[in-house]
Structure 1
Amino acid sequence: MTTIRRAFADLSVGQVHYAACGEPDARAVLLLHQSPRSWAEYRAVLPLVGAHRHAIAMDTAGFGDSSDGGVPASIEQWARVACELLDALGVAQADVVGHHTGGVVAVELAAAFPDRVRSLVLSSTPYTDEPFRRARAQRPPIDEVAPSEDGTHLAALWQKRQGFYPAGRADLLEAFVLDALKVGHRVEEGHRAVASYRMEDRIGRIAQPALIVRATDDPFAAPHAAELQHHLPQARIVDIEGGMVPLPDQMPEAFARTVLEFLSTLP
């Protein structure tokens, strides 16, 4: 059953939106998106993974159509809400896939709730230690643009991302802008949460099997793969050649194949 089904779960923060594909009694795969995207980042991936698993892509609390409940944004909070969603769906244990911010949330989910995470796929995931935090503090906002009366801020938002997206794929930039507009003035919240997360205090708790996916043309995340592997010696690195910042919706077949091949190796 590869039809995408969308629904809301009533959680501590209010209503949290998710999309699911595949048989509900199959082994669950939870997909976590980058900032400021939504479940739609995995729209083309869901049926491919759902052909073999119960694939679930959630909107992180405060993104897409999910409420944040007025709770301050943090990686720890987003991981707690993700675990609440697993509870609500009756999923005792999931394989967790995260891209960019979603990978950081996946690390915290595995560290905080180890019994709920069978394995990790960390796609284009940064390693957020003190040097990362210092460097991030010295850089300008990633997606923030000043609002304008004539709508030129929409073009500015597009242009901020354009160099990190494949040429000739305006559809991917449109999807990004749609999601960014949904979160409005909170467009930087995800990036700030990542920049303040102390991964060095948490990653040592992770004993689950792990795969590190490196999008070779992603300048933000590709350099972190070796560092992540140093802290996760059980992890392999798989390169997706030509992959850029929007990897899951840029190359859904390669992304889904990489995830499923890894999952097929697990006991």
Structure 2
Amino acid sequence: MTIRRAFADLSVGQVHYAECGDASAPAVLLLHQSPRSWAEYREVLPLLGARHRAVAMDTAGFGDSADGGVPASIAQWARVAGELLDALGIAQANVVGHHTGGVIAVELAAAFPGRVRSLVLSSTPYTGEAFRIARAERPPIDEVAPSEDGSHLAALWQRRQGFYPEGRPDLLEAFVRDALKVGHRVEEGHRAVASYRMEERIGRVTQPALILRATADPFAAPHAEELLHHLPQARIVDIEGGMIPLPDQMPEAFAQAVLGFLSALPS
């Protein structure tokens, strides 16, 4: 199935997106982790596009999307996602978010409830007070000091290597490509997540929800039960062996879980 790529002129400038499927089918909006891009869903898009209009956007300031010179925040990124839905003529979408994308999805559902039919929160942290305190005490996740000999590129690779599956250097290459494109803003997504007060917003989320737990993701997997506590309408589905790059590590399992959830929604 063909992936179509284009830009939409939004308040921040040009925002890039990719899509698959019939434009008249129910829409699914896919939001990526930091500092990735739509390419995280390259293999997932055709699988979802067989039944839905699947749209994967580059979050403002990531991939090929402009940031508009506006300070990075979860609220800002959710507003831009809503603008993209407007530009594409999508009145309501099922929203799928992975890591940072899941946090943006929560805000999108809270701020614009009429635009979100359902939520899939994949490896999404619960960013309450305890999360913010713990994150403040940790070093940067992906930020590395530039070096003249290029050793910072190896350092960037090695920061993530232990959390990626063995024998899949292609996944680390995809991460490094996206991280280099973001440049000095590589840590912005993590900072935005760390400052987001989810405890003040998640109570507004009433849409049907699925929580995907990648069992080998040490950062996100422990948050699934806490998310479930705040989203009693949700359920948890485990993807065994899933790690931080879940959508492009295990696209078939990821898409199958999403499609199963969507097919069970009331019409």
Q: Which residue of structure 2 aligns with residue 172 of structure 1?
A: 171
**SS of match in other structure, 1:91:** coil
Q: Which residue of structure 1 aligns with residue 60 of structure 2?
A: 61
CA distance in 1, matches of 2:56, 2:149: 35
Tell me how far 1:239 sits from its aligned partner: 0.1
CA distance in 2, matches of 1:143, 1:207: 34
Q: Which residue of structure 2 aligns with residue 49 of structure 1?
A: 48
CA distance in 2, matches of 1:179, 1:167: 20
CA distance in 2, matches of 1:164, 1:233: 30
Tell me how far 1:71 sits from its aligned partner: 0.3
Q: Which residue of structure 2 aligns with residue 259 of structure 1?
A: 258
CA distance in 2, matches of 1:40, 1:219: 23
Tell me how far 1:13 sits from its aligned partner: 0.1
Q: Which residue of structure 2 aligns with residue 227 of structure 1?
A: 226
Q: Which residue of structure 1 aligns with residue 96 of structure 2?
A: 97
Tell me how far 1:129 sits from its aligned partner: 0.5
Map Cα deviations across residues 159-201 of structure 1 (whole Å, 9 max, x no partner).
0000000000000000000000000010000000000000000
Tell me how far 1:33 sits from its aligned partner: 0.1
Q: Which residue of structure 1 aligns with residue 151 of structure 2?
A: 152
Unpaired runs of at least 5, structure 1: none
Q: TM-score, normalised by structure 1?
A: 0.99
Tell me how far 1:58 sits from its aligned partner: 0.0
CA distance in 2, matches of 1:207, 1:8: 31
Q: TM-score, normalised by structure 2?
A: 0.99
Look up the equivalent residue of 1:126 and give its one-letter code: P
Q: Which residue of structure 2 aligns with residue 138 of structure 1?
A: 137
Q: Which residue of structure 1 aligns with residue 86 of structure 2?
A: 87
Tell me how far 1:79 sits from its aligned partner: 0.0
- Is 1:210 the equivalent of 2:209? yes
| Structure 1 segment 107-146 matched on structure 2, within 5 A | 107-146=106-145
- Is 1:6 the equivalent of 2:26? no
C-alpha root-mean-square deviation of aligned residues, in Å? 0.3
Tell me how far 1:152 sits from its aligned partner: 0.5
Look up the equivalent residue of 1:212 and give its one-letter code: I
Q: Which residue of structure 1 aligns with residue 36 of structure 2?
A: 37
| Structure 1 segment 242-253 matched on structure 2, within 5 A | 242-253=241-252
Tell me how far 1:234 sits from its aligned partner: 0.4
CA distance in 2, matches of 1:129, 1:257: 30
Paired-residue identity, %: 85
Map Cα deviations across residues 134-157 of structure 1 (whole Å, 9 max, x no partner).
000000000000000011000000
| Structure 1 segment 183-198 matched on structure 2, within 5 A | 183-198=182-197
CA distance in 1, matches of 2:98, 2:87: 23
**SS of match in other structure, 1:49:** helix
Look up the equivalent residue of 1:50 and give its one-letter code: G
Look up the equivalent residue of 1:223 and give its one-letter code: P
CA distance in 2, matches of 1:213, 1:131: 22
Count matched residues.
266
